[in-house]
Structure 1
Amino acid sequence: MGKRLAEFVDGFVAPLLAGGDVAIGPPVRPADFHELLADVHTLRHIHSGQVLALRQARAQQLLADPGLPDPDGEELALWVGLYNVLALDHPERERVWARAVTWQRVEQAARYWLQLSHPGNFEAALVRHLSVGAFIDLVRHDQILSGPDGEQRFVGQEVPRRRLRWAVPGALSVRDELVPWWTSNHAPEAERLLHDVLWASPVTCLLRPRQAPPGWNPLTAAAFLHERAFARVVCHGWAASRSWIEIGGAVLGALLFTLTGRPTQEPAADLHPPDLRSTQAPRRRGSPAMAAPMAAPMAAPLALQATPIDAGPGDVAALVGALIHVHFLRVLEFGARLGVAPSSRDRPVQMFLALPLLLPALAPVLGTPLPVDPEAVHAGFDTQVQRRWIEYVEHLGELIPRTVVENLLATLVPRVVKATPA
């Protein structure tokens, strides 16, 4: 393995995947990338085999037995793109003399490398998520110096010792603060690249739909739901969130916009959605990351959107089935109770809540969460679940405006249930 690639792996890739302190230095230039690329075949050998182990360990947090391909040029490009996003956001970047055009070239190169990834199967897409998911979870370690004159934040850095050396004992104090990097303020160039980071990983967008970029097409990852183990992970992840209703609305709203080309945000009649009673799964804390000084956020232009795909009814059915299964998991595992809550006028949310009411029309393709024939339901536990599910669906029927159900019957159901040729 080349020395440069070994240093890049040890300083950035390995701690990114493992949750350590990532080392950010000068941006990677195209010439540097070609030098790294020449040695990419060595990533599965020598001590850098740690990358394979770290990828496998992180993937096993989702799936018991993930089959991951060896690192390739596209994955290396993704790592380099992510690295350059952080380099553009480095807190000491202002001390580096460089023309504005130089930073523009770094931004353009990072965008190119991020967009170079086009996973052709589930395993390749899962590999992209391992890095992008860890990148989104990065936290920045700040230190805040407090004194008689107020506070000063040292972004991603320790307070210089010279600031404390001659201070009167007890006059100054230092405290640590962990700041989620993704949601903090960024340099304009880094801010503009955040959408590109998300577009690079369709699995990440499916697992975290509320973070997906504008124009996200959930059908880009719908085929992955045919992997039963992964579909289970997605459904349980959505259902376990306190924001499960908003997640469902985000996915269904994006799906309907993709299918019809019409937005779903028009105001609708009031309804009382189910009360939210669950605990959110703990969020992984990644490694401290270097970031730019706190600046006013800047409106970021949209990144290039995902390549349009021609998804068939099977992919649409996989998404709709997953969303309905989230309802069932809420009833089965999280004890969802329908109670009085603030009324919602969010159209996608209402449509998501209406999905169980479409089961009579969707059952020929999707099936049903429980046997339709009461005699097929076993006594005891299954009977209780059946009763709770029936009560849940009936209550939804009282809450959801009929116009919402009729709209879905006209726009969504035909995309799943195709008419049988005569």
Structure 2
Amino acid sequence: MAASGERLHQALLQAFKQRHLNSLSWLAAEPALAAAGSDGMDAPLAGFPLVVKDNIDVAGMPTSIGTALLAEEPVNRSAELVTRLQRAGAIIIGKASMHELASGTSGLNAARGDVLHPFLPGRVVGGSSSGSAAAVAAGIVSASIGTDTGASVRLPASFCGLIGFRPSLTRYPQQGIAPISPSRDTAGIIAQRMDDVLALDAVISGESALPAVALADLRLGVPRAHFWHGCEPAVAAAAETVLHRLRDLGVTVVEVSIEQAGELAVQAGYPMASFEMLRDLPRYLQQRGSRFSFDQLKSAIASPDVQALVADAETIGPERYQEALNHWKPLLIARYQAVFQQHRLDGLVFPTVPLLPPPVAQANALFRQLIANCEPATVVGLPCISLPLAQTPDGIPVGMEFQFATGEDRRLLAAAALLMAQVPPRIDELK
């Protein structure tokens, strides 16, 4: 896993060459080179260049949360997740651009500029971890850290033909990450290769053991209702080829139904995210010692879709929030548990995103459709991974999402490693 100084220099060179993509909101070349000079080569991530999303604190760098107001305000303390990575030898070369306030799925940002898709001109890269995915897809770094509240790691990973891993809720520390919804938020990993996902997860989580998994022993549920019915024909056709391949490899594929999964995810998830964002973002700004208030931040929002989202969030009162937390969320969790138990499932499989990467002009209007498949698991707290196992005939990536039971993260990753090795197409065939 150790990387030479040449790897770091190459990452910095690519960051300069690929500036037109706007994947990075902050490049820290000098600190990165200084860190490389003091690195111990026996550390598990020695010399490994990383970018982290610009809502994750890195001491000495701004955490803008995709806004213009906070773009030049460095923070004094790193997030716990960043500290763990740096102790293991990783080198943070910069901050990844993102959808403003992490509140969108397109990567279109009126405050800091849009993130461009590295190989699908005119289509969005996805969000809100837009730059995290673009930097990996463009070859600046081989892996990055994003965050995922509704879909924000898995969606851009799917659109860019990459791996996107969202761990079980609370597996990764949340300290030092600007919150939207602590009940749903988590950091996640976007990468080209499973080896990097395994290594980064081990460092962040402290769990390095990888259980033995055989594809012939896996039972995966295919939840057609909701997760497949909203798919574009090209997405559904590409995904069906993956199901056929899974069966050929000996995986037991079972048709299942999670009753009202989509509706319950919205009834639970939307009030949770809306109420908690307005409650917890002001606390985060205070704790980091920002000179700006949350009211100033709200007034400075430049992206119309984010302005509308924040305005609507202000209509969610405590009663609706408590109902989401105490009724709708437990109901959705119970339905997932019942399906897993009834069918003796290891996990679920379905297209990560029901739509292909949309054109720029249409993307923000498709917010709800774009997160539809990813959102339910964020309420339940399951570990999820989007794998680049499918593509359309004209080469547009179609991610396939696999979800295991809460806490089964390393088993999910072990299965994902096997799938990446045995189910074509591979990442390099998507470009």
- TM-score band w.r.t. shorter chain: under 0.3
TM-score, normalising length: structure 2: 0.26
Bigger share in strand: 2
Higher helix share: 1
**Greater Rg over alpha carbons, structure:** 1
TM norm structure 1: 0.26
